[in-house]
């Protein structure tokens, strides 16, 4: 099974920005832990990050016919990117939306996700472990034939 993790704007600064919200674990360390866990789960994993909406859309488009699942943390684009929503709907690759913080316990504008409606589920508030939960969920969904 092949999974693509797509991280949006400012995720590359995790570990140094707003550590009271996102924790102090460095982004590269999180990626290393996710690669290790994917290996344990028997999953081929790629991780990409961009601060640019169009690049995120291209990552989604390029996942078509290449990946069995997408895990996406659209970050701030979560709240207004219809373009990312449309891309996720168009590629027909099951996706799970992940957020490091609990977006429902934060500012009002963060409680609404435009992109979650294009995903099979959303996980928020568990830090980097949310990505692991998403990998496990995608494995089970794909094995059950529920694309």
Active site residues: 22, 99
Give all strands of the β-sheet with 121-124 in edge-to-edge order.
44-49, 2-7, 69-73, 95-99, 121-124
Residue 126 CB neighbour total at 10 angstroms: 16
Report the distance separating Cα 109 and Cα 139, nearest Å. Answer: 32
Q: Which residues contact 25 (CB under 8 A, 6 or more apart)?
A: 14, 15, 127, 128
Given a contact cutoff of 8 angstroms between Cβ atoms, the answer to whether 14 and 100 are in contact is yes
């Amino acid at each position: 099974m092949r999974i693509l993790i797509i991280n949006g704007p400012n995720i590359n600064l995790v570990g140094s920005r707003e550590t009271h919200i996102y924790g102090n674990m460095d982004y590269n360390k999180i990626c290393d832990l996710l690669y290790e866990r994917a290996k344990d789960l028997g999953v081929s994993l790629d991780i990409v990050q961009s601060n640019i909406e169009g690049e995120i859309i291209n990552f989604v488009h390029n996942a078509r016919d290449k990946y069995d699942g997408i895990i996406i943390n659209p970050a701030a684009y979560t709240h207004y990117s219809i373009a990312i929503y449309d891309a996720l709907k168009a590629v027909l690759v099951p996706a799970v939306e992940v957020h490091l913080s609990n977006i429902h316990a934060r500012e009002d504008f963060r409680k609404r996700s435009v992109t979650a409606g294009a995903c099979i589920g959303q996980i928020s508030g568990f830090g980097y472990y949310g990505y692991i939960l998403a990998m496990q969920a995608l494995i089970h969904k794909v094995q059950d034939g529920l694309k």
